[in-house]
A and B are shown apart, each in its own frame.
Chain A
Amino acid sequence: MFDILRYGLDIGEKLGADYVEARFDDLQLRTLGIENQKIKETDLNRRRGIGITAYYKGVSGYSYTGNLERDAVKKCVESALGIAKASAEMATIKLDFDRREKTTKVHDLKLAVKKHPMDFDLSYKLDLIERLEQAALADVDWIKSTRAYYGEFYGSKYFMNSDGDEISWNPLVVDLRISVTASAATGDALVRGQNSKGGSKGLELYDKKDSTPEYLGKKAHEWAKEQRDAKASPAGKFRTLCDNELSGVLAHESFGHCAEADFVLTNSTVLINRLNEKIGTEKVTIIDEGITNEKYNSFWLPYDDEGTKTSKTVLVENGILKGYLHNRASAKILGQEPTGNARAMHYRFNPIPRMKNTYFAPGDLTEEEAIEQLKEGIYAIQTSGGQVSPTEGTFLFKAVRGYWIENGEIKHPIKDVTIKGELLALLNNVEGVTKDLKIISGYFGGCGKNAQYPLPVGLGSGKILFSEAMFGGEQ
């Protein structure tokens, strides 16, 4: 594939482009779903194409094609350069960057896994979700519906640029997800339990004791059962403990997006001009990393879509804002090093600053200590989604479930837990983080920015103790 990319680069440079990047993606996505014991989805989707970025006077133009013929690629390059030239005058932020001193030649980089989904047939994967659903159902009459899904994403990515870099690697993600809807013990309300496990792993992930379909389904069942008797979450301000998943989502959604350098350059984030300032308590350390320790279920991202090797980026260190998430141009403008955060969902998109695996570094508390220190308040667990405004720094998240804590002990389960507030206030309320860092990623969900959704990312945290957080709900 490097041949056709080289062809595109040569044409672009010949036509007067200052710099050219060429990418080829051949990515396969499979979704299998059963709902209420019936097969709902057996979808396979292959995305194959070429994308060209042409730089002209500090402006980049992007064009793509699903056609791999030379003529189509030539047209694509002309188009990318044409649109860059047309836009050049309008640009007041110039996206120039320094050439690399050393070129990278990395071919066919892949994760060592025991059971690559490519080598396993459909029946094997259907069996996973059938077992998952059966475990969640567990033969009770109060479960109203179940959804069990399997997703896999793999393939190959090729990259070349005018610096002479040549990189190809093979992304991989698998994911299992279960959701249970149940009737509440009293009244006609419905409650939910959900569980998931995914990451850049082979299917051997689901052979591990705490990750088998049986275990994941059983947990979703237990949590739904507990929610049947849950009381509505109180509204107002409370001392709060957020579990690893919800805290990870806060790291990603409410902090991470605000740290994306394009938002900094365009004055669209509350973190602008705050570098080296204290933005949180000293318990707050936030990291964004492409390759983490393999004990975590993170997303494996060795290189970004500008060919930059991903680094371990310290964004916040003991409460001090240390950096942003960069592409090559934003790093140059802001006088920092590229961090390997230029990512495109696939060939139909240009790379923009996105996250890798974003997480709160672990602290020194145990869960028991955190609950005891909480004394009275809300323990919010898992999330079903949320929304954020990086410009204003405001956010809102729905937790899936939670507990009311009194006298440092769990009192009773609560439901309809909505946490909301302002990012900077929240980071200043962090009293402590537990030591059990979990990083998660997956095929379902993923990150959305502009039209690029869903992009696989990882996120994580220990459990975080906040001196105060705002909870909503009907009163």
Chain B
Amino acid sequence: MGFDTLKDDLLSLADTGLKYAKNQGADQAEIYISSQNTLNVQNQSGMIDARDGLNEGIGVRLAKGKKIGFAAMSGMTEESLKHAINEAISVVKTINQENKGFETFMPKQKPAKDGLIDHNIISASSEDIVKSTNRIFKEAKEYDKRIISVMAQTQSIYGGYAVANTEGVSAASLFTAYVLVTDITAMEGSQRKNAFDFSVTRGIPQDQSVGISCAKKAINLLNSKPLGHTGILPTVWNPLVMSGFWQASLQSSINGRQVVEKNSYFMDKLGDKVGIDALEIVDDGQLPEGTSTSAIDEEGAPRHTTKIIEKGVLHSFLYDSYYGNLGKAKSTGNAARANSYESTPNIAPTTIVIKPGTKGFDEIISEIDKGIYVMDSVMGMVHSNLISGDFSCVATSAYLIEKGEIKHSLDSITIAGNLYKSYKDILHIGSDSKLLPNIKTPTVAFNGFTING
């Protein structure tokens, strides 16, 4: 099955599914079919993990009245399709409880635009991917003698998905993606320091210097010293670690399901000032280079660009059709399936874009008398209390800033604060935006977090 005919193949099988589901007694049906090729080569200190495969499968939601069932099966065949439909029907026929919020599957709308497609990804051979991995690996390994362990990984991904339902939706979307990951350990004396870097792009990137930049980071972290300070200090977060911060602080607070179910911290704050004036956030499902950009979301609604925060004021939440219906709002085209055809739609951002400020990274640092520069990753951010917003994380890659300069790396420090209240404690938003999966953010500096180290 070729990439050129993929859309037609997906849509034709989906159509067969709709007819079969009706025949089996479903009032309404939704067929989601996905086909994704992945070629992955990883070199971990000379040990190779090389694999590829075609992951195809079908996820079916059926409704009888307001009773809904879901079943999925791997494979893109009529056998898989019928199995999934039969299982979903048997669920619908067994359950007693109606889903009161359910009206229909996504009504038909005109699809938006797909993101960039890079045909070089489709034609990339395993030799190409091996070469790319090898070069990144070597560059990192040879950067410095103190580098004791290097992991370099390249992944090429392409495929598509289709959604068809009994409301008239019948649309498909294609994607290509290229992933580079490095994870490097440097050692001096008995001290080990770890750094990682990655890029996820829709096309094969020009800049593949991720091995060298990551090696440099690991080496610079060596010879860390204890901070010896407990109290509030300004912190500067680079885009990589900031992407985790935005994800943690936005995943529940602007999610329409959490709003409807009253778990969102921002649920009653629409129109309120929640951040500094310079804070502008959109969810951009149409950013051509964004990795989640597509013509339709994963229940068939057109992707959108949605203003989340404008001039520090909360503007709107993200919805799919189901929670949009319950929350008296429209779908914002944010239905996403966590595990492709194996999952029912939920709400997830596409690319969260933070409007860059005017100050460069060096200028931000130069204005801090004493503070912390946090890089790459922190442990514990994903376990933040998303209801209250309280977080406590451990930063293993951090530096001391003194008198406007980055001084030396620090032994692990703990950073604690509140995810949501922090929007008002932003000191600076940098001008150095970086596109990461689902987030495009610059460096951000905060005041008001408690540091312990």
Contacts and interface: CB of A to CB of B under 8 A. Distances in A.
Interface in A111-144: 121-123, 126
B97 A39 contact: yes
Contacts of A145: 261, 263
B450 A474 contact: yes
Contacts of B126: 79, 82-83, 86-87
A378 to B, nearest CB: 15
A265 B53 contact: no
B95 A122 contact: yes
A63 to B, nearest CB: 5
B95 A64 contact: no
A189 B388 contact: yes
Given A83-B51, A266-B46, A394 B412 contact: yes
12 contacts: A36-B261, A43-B70, A44-B88, A48-B75, A67-B76, A84-B50, A86-B127, A90-B133, A92-B45, A387-B379, A392-B396, A474-B416
A168 interface: no
Contact of B75 (A38, A67, A95): A67
A122 B72 CA distance: 16
B49 A92 contact: no
Contacts of A83: 39, 41, 50-52, 126, 130
A66 B50 contact: no
B50 A126 contact: no
A41 B71 CA distance: 11
B74 A62 contact: no
Interface in A13-70: 35-36, 38-39, 41-49, 51, 59-67
A66 B194 contact: no
B151 interface: yes
B192 interface: yes
Contacts of A416: 385, 390
Contacts of A181: 387
B249 interface: no
Nearest to A121: B94
A91 B48 contact: yes
Nearest to B155: A451
B19 interface: no
B220 interface: no
B357 to A, nearest CB: 28
A44 B394 contact: no
A318 B385 CA distance: 38
A92 B380 CA distance: 35
B223 interface: no
A45 B72 contact: yes
B17 interface: no
A348 B56 CA distance: 11
Given A45-B71, A87-B48, A389-B194, A473 B149 contact: no
B73 interface: yes
Contacts of A387: 379-380, 382-383
Interface residue tally on A, bucketed by range: 35 or more
Given A47-B74, A121-B94, A473 B416 contact: yes
Contacts of B133: 90
B387 A190 contact: yes
B452 interface: yes
Contacts of B417: 474
B414 interface: yes
A48 B192 contact: no
A366 interface: no
A175 interface: no
Closest 7 CB pairs of A and B: A92-B46, A266-B45, A62-B51, A64-B53, A66-B75, A66-B74, A93-B47
Contact of B52 (A38, A63, A473): A63
Nearest to B73: A46
B99 interface: yes
Contacts of B192: 270, 391-392
B91 A350 contact: no
A78 B51 CA distance: 12
B43 interface: yes
Interface in A215-235: 235
Contacts of B394: 394, 396, 420, 472
Given A472-B414, A475-B230, A475-B450, A43 B71 contact: yes
B51 A61 contact: yes
B388 A190 contact: yes
B45 A267 contact: yes
Contacts of B380: 386-387, 396, 398, 418, 420, 472
Given A39-B95, A389-B194, A66 B57 contact: yes
A40 B343 CA distance: 13
Contacts of B194: 389, 391-392
